[in-house]
Structure 1
């Protein structure tokens, strides 16, 4: 067993293998833990495009998923289940009431599913509690419904875990090849992601460094990034609209990237439901002196997590297009 996996298992946690029934309280619960930040989990939990990838086959909420929103969840083999959002307190609590296919929501045909999100040092804890089964009929009917939904929450939250594993990953270091890789999915059109990735004014907002490129970004131009009054050169190597953005960056005070410079490449790919997958690879670390390499590469690995999370938050908070 991998040492990291063994260490995490020894540390414990509350990631439950399956949902559990509390017959006394007539409720079904499950807690999972994931590495993704709380805002990313919130988006996958509440964005209809994301919901359709882990909870059923479709999620129709024409007015969004804020408190009071009315919509439905659909399964190809079970039909469309009406729903209304009861609570939406970003990014900590989301709750909906849902009923039976073909029926209007009533107290005697619906249950309430409440999701609670808690930030952890290494990610997010998500707990779902579904209540109200006692209103669905006699004790036998309540038990049957709880058994069905126990299986359902086990399966559906496993799907959410798998989705989040695709949506958000930590940066990885390949010491042999001298690379850092980070992949991140953003639920926004590729054109919008590209615009904010390559616009100097936007770069300053999500990366935190003033980006100066006289005449704008274009292949063959060298500009600068700045941090606390110090500048370092950034030479644009590839600028393929909405596909690839690549540059070589150097050290503080250089006019052009020197022999120890690393290369950075962003690739953008469209996702099935209209989102964008951003892959960044920083290579060339074998050119960095041995005595500096390990510390710097670890620092940049954490940096790429912060930077791409910043891009994601900026894109989602920006005004369309």
Structure 2
């Protein structure tokens, strides 16, 4: 099964972009709220209000595999819809042309049950595109609204 790969260039220094990975509050704004330490070897969870945002069960269990400031953040990613299978998310940063190249690779899909694999890969691919776009908007000041607030506003609007 092919990995999900998303790339973008962000008009900000690598240290600024890194802070949106390493700072739990900033990470929680563009992805999901963080519960637990963001340190190599530690476990944490991404959490959101599943009663309002009808997507999954409100939790993604993670285990930090590598945290190399300001270049690389790698963690396992698992949740109910993939039956507890650990997939792997690697986010790599590089300073390029006065900004930062970000490459996200989400691998390990071959271990996910075939019945849900294609749907989950597509859903995650789209989700990563959305979340990374929000990250870029927050970093560059194009928006101040994070993911969960956007989702809740969209649901409220109908």
TM-score with structure 2 setting the length: 0.79
Q: Is the 8 A contact 1:210 1:226 kept in 2?
A: yes
Q: State how far apart, in whole Å, the 2-side matches of 1:288 and 1:313 are.
A: 32
Q: State how far apart, in whole Å, the 2-side matches of 1:252 and 1:258 are.
A: 5
Aligned residue in 2 for 1:225: 46
Offset at residue 259 of structure 1 (A): 5.9
Q: State how far apart, in whole Å, the 2-side matches of 1:261 and 1:313 are.
A: 29
Offset at residue 205 of structure 1 (A): 1.2
Aligned residue in 1 for 2:11: 187
Deviations 1:8-37 (A, max 9, x none): xxxxxxxxxxxxxxxxxxxxxxxxxxxxxx
Q: State how far apart, in whole Å, the 1-side matches of 2:88 and 2:109 are.
A: 9
Matches within 5 A, 1:81-230: 177-207=1-31, 209-213=32-36, 216-229=37-50, 230=58
**Bigger relative contact order, structure 1 or 2 (CA pairs below 8 A, ≥6 apart):** 2
Aligned residue in 1 for 2:70: 242
Matches within 5 A, 1:54-69: none
Offset at residue 218 of structure 1 (A): 0.7
Q: Is the 8 A contact 1:259 1:287 kept in 2?
A: no
Offset at residue 206 of structure 1 (A): 1.3
Q: State how far apart, in whole Å, the 1-side matches of 2:77 and 2:125 are.
A: 16
Structure 1 pair 198–302 and aligned structure 2 pair: CA distance change class (3 A): same
Instruction: Give the number of equivalent residue pairs.
Output: 135
Q: Is the 8 A contact 1:197 1:311 kept in 2?
A: no
Q: State how far apart, in whole Å, the 1-side matches of 2:65 and 2:118 are.
A: 26
Q: State how far apart, in whole Å, the 1-side matches of 2:112 and 2:133 are.
A: 26
Q: Report the aligned-residue RMSD.
A: 2.0
Q: State how far apart, in whole Å, the 1-side matches of 2:83 and 2:5 are.
A: 22
Offset at residue 203 of structure 1 (A): 1.4
Deviations 1:45-71 (A, max 9, x none): xxxxxxxxxxxxxxxxxxxxxxxxxxx
Q: Give the counterpart of 1:265 among 79, 90, 100.
A: 90
Offset at residue 227 of structure 1 (A): 2.5
Q: State how far apart, in whole Å, the 1-side matches of 2:126 and 2:84 are.
A: 24
> Structure 1: which 5+ residue stretches go unaligned?
1-176
Q: State how far apart, in whole Å, the 2-side matches of 1:233 and 1:244 are.
A: 19
Offset at residue 243 of structure 1 (A): 0.6
Q: Is the 8 A contact 2:83 2:112 kept in 1?
A: no
Greater Rg by CA: 1
Offset at residue 261 of structure 1 (A): 1.7
Please identify which structure carries the higher helix content.
2
TM-score with structure 1 setting the length: 0.40
